[in-house]
Chain A
Amino acid sequence: MAQTSVDIEHKTDHIQHHFVDSDQQFESSKLGMWIFLVTEILFFGGLFAAYIVYRAWYPELYLEASTELNAFWGTVNTAVLIGSSLTVAMAIRSAQLNQIKGLIYNLYITIGLAIIFMVIKFFEYAEKLEKGIAPGAYYTYDGLEHEKANIFFSIYYMMTGLHGLHVVIGIGLMVWLVIKAKKKVFHSGYYTPVEITGLYWHLVDVIWIFLFPLLYLID
């Protein structure tokens, strides 16, 4: 009997005093996260708007400059991110079922996939910077004829760079989740941080789903 009452106490100690119950707290956190994701969509939206305006002005520039991007590695990175979205969804499922080991394993796989994504991105950037394909005024490459080629790559670096920053932040959040999971903070009654980090991660995936065809697959 004593064990049971301790268990019940454990199941409710995550509830903050200003919430009626666990469900209300969960729904409030999720609502807050969705509002944050709205600001994220509009944040990236500004860059997508810049992309669209310049593409309407210089359609031939985009066709020419995107040949410098390697569609194969872009495809690999798309698959890597979709795989990581799947493992995050599996991590949330594990948490919901009280399978903390499964939660930690799925988070490890997600972190691994996110690191693979960043390593591929690093080699893509390194290969371009080596050739002098740098953003804006630092552009020194002469393999493209279009005089505005630097503008395409400014947009490319801003969009993929901001996305990459989100991936790095995501890795940090996953590590934090692993640490919390190892401290046995999460159980089927409380996994809010896993859920909302998952929402963030899926949004990062969705943004890449748009970036990939818009940057890599134009030609």
Chain B
Amino acid sequence: MSGHHISSAKFLWGIGTALFILTFITVAVTWINIPDPWNVVVAIFIAVVKATIVALFFMNLWWDSQFNVMLLITSVVFFLLLVGITLLDTLYRSDPIPSF
């Protein structure tokens, strides 16, 4: 079991604190009314940063096999494909809004 990375308690608390601060920032930026669409961009950007921190340092991908990193990245790529191809349809319909 020599290869397992063991994070120090101080390090884990540091990561947790960073996530709490970023949560506060996500809420705080809604108080200063950033104009559309940049409010969404900022919110998603902070969420991506938080998710990356969790994946790298709580889920230990930073020290893990590259294959697991590839799996995560692939899932994100396929999610973006799903959204992208769907929007190519739904954004460009001649009769855009259905009854539902």
Q: What is the interface of chain A, defined by CB distance below 8 A to chain B?
A: 22-23, 26-27, 30-31, 34-35, 37-38, 41-42, 45-46, 48-49, 52-53, 56-57, 59, 71, 75, 78-79, 82-83, 85-86, 88-90, 93, 96-97, 151, 188-189, 198-199, 202-203, 205-206, 209-210, 212-214, 217, 219
Determine if B94 is an interface residue (Cβ-Cβ < 8 Å).
Answer: no
B75: contacting residue among A38, A53, A217, CB under 8 A = A38
Q: Can you pick out 22 interface pairs between chain A and chain B where the beta carbons lie within 8 Å of each other?
A: A26-B4, A35-B71, A37-B72, A38-B74, A42-B82, A48-B79, A49-B79, A53-B86, A71-B30, A75-B23, A82-B20, A88-B58, A89-B15, A89-B58, A93-B7, A93-B12, A97-B6, A189-B1, A202-B55, A205-B54, A212-B47, A217-B30
Q: How far is the CA of A102 from the CA of B40 in the complex (A)?
A: 40
CB-defined contacts of B9 to chain A, threshold 8 Å: 90, 93
CB-defined contacts of A214 to chain B, threshold 8 Å: 43, 47
Contact B47 A151 (CB under 8 A): no
Q: How far is the CB of B33 from chain A (nearest CB, A)?
A: 9
Nearest residue, chain A, Cβ from B24: A75
Q: What is the interface of chain B, defined by CB distance below 8 A to chain A?
A: 1, 3-4, 6-7, 9, 12-13, 15-16, 19-20, 23, 26-27, 30, 36, 43-44, 46-47, 50-51, 54-55, 58-59, 64-65, 67-68, 71-72, 74-76, 78-79, 82-83, 86-87, 90-91, 96-97, 100
Known: A56-B87, A56-B90, A85-B58. A213 touches B43 (CB 8 A): yes
CB-defined contacts of A82 to chain B, threshold 8 Å: 16, 19-20, 23
Given A213-B47, A214-B47, list of 19 further CB < 8 A pairs? A38-B71, A38-B75, A42-B79, A45-B82, A46-B82, A49-B86, A53-B86, A56-B87, A57-B96, A75-B23, A82-B16, A85-B19, A89-B58, A96-B4, A188-B1, A206-B51, A210-B51, A214-B43, A217-B30
Q: How far is the CB of B26 from chain A (nearest CB, A)?
A: 5
Contact A49 B58 (CB under 8 A): no
CB-defined contacts of B64 to chain A, threshold 8 Å: 30
Q: How far is the CA of A203 from the CA of B61 in the complex (A)?
A: 13
Nearest residue, chain B, Cβ from A56: B91
Contact A34 B26 (CB under 8 A): no
CB-defined contacts of A75 to chain B, threshold 8 Å: 23, 27
CB-defined contacts of A206 to chain B, threshold 8 Å: 50-51, 54-55
Q: How far is the CA of A90 from the CA of B57 in the complex (A)?
A: 12
Q: How far is the CA of A20 from the CA of B69 in the complex (A)?
A: 24
CB-defined contacts of A56 to chain B, threshold 8 Å: 87, 90-91
Known: A41-B75, A209-B47. A49 touches B82 (CB 8 A): yes
